A = this chain, B = another copy of it.
Amino acid sequence: MPSETKLRVRYAETDKMGIVHHAVYPVWFEAARGDYVRKEGIGYDAIEASGFMIPLHDLTCTYLKPFVYEEEVTVVTRIVKTNAVRLVFAYEVYGEGDTLPRVMGTTTHAWVHTSDFRMANLKKEYPKLYSLLQACYERDKDYS
């Protein structure tokens, strides 16, 4: 099963339209992504301690239906692409009882070195993590 993250809409996350502000979803994606890697046994902190970071290269987000204050939110996260230099996550955001996501998005990350932000080749420089992500991708593929 793909990784699921549960959140509750915070008051501060709403705007004067009465709905969750659109810039909040990238933050939820990030929390969901953090959960994902943590469940795989390798947190963001561990990755950064190993000398690698994956800053965003690209973000997309599609808003179909808004969330409001206090709703329970489920973010379903999958790895939809992974290679030596890139990693792409896809997110679906569901409300309680929803059969279709209200918001969908992707984040594309590039591997860089913590020390100098230079591009890294994960396959060569951190093969264990590279293999782990490949396995995640293969597993997630069957659920999309």
- CB within 8 Å of B: which residues of A? 8, 10-12, 14-19, 21-24, 26-27, 30-31, 34, 38, 43-45, 53, 55-63, 66, 68-70, 117
B19 and A11 contact, CB distance less than 8 A: no
B26 and A23 contact, CB distance less than 8 A: yes
Q: Specify the main secondary structure of chain A where it touches its partner.
A: mixed
**Complex alpha-carbon distance, A14 and B16, angstroms:** 6
A31 and B8 contact, CB distance less than 8 A: yes
A114 to B, closest residue via Cβ: B17
Contacts of A43 in B (CB 8 A): 70
**Given contacts A45-B70, A63-B57, A70-B34, A27 and B23 within 8 Å (CB-CB):** yes
**Given contacts A23-B23, A23-B26, A59-B61, A38 and B70 within 8 Å (CB-CB):** yes
Number of copies: 4
**Complex alpha-carbon distance, A59 and B105, angstroms:** 9
Set B14, B24, B59, B69: member contacting A22, Cβ < 8 A = B59
With contacts A15-B16, A16-B19, A56-B61 known, what are 15 further pairs, Cβ within 8 A? A10-B31, A11-B21, A11-B30, A12-B23, A12-B26, A16-B16, A16-B69, A23-B26, A45-B69, A56-B63, A57-B62, A58-B61, A58-B63, A60-B61, A66-B117
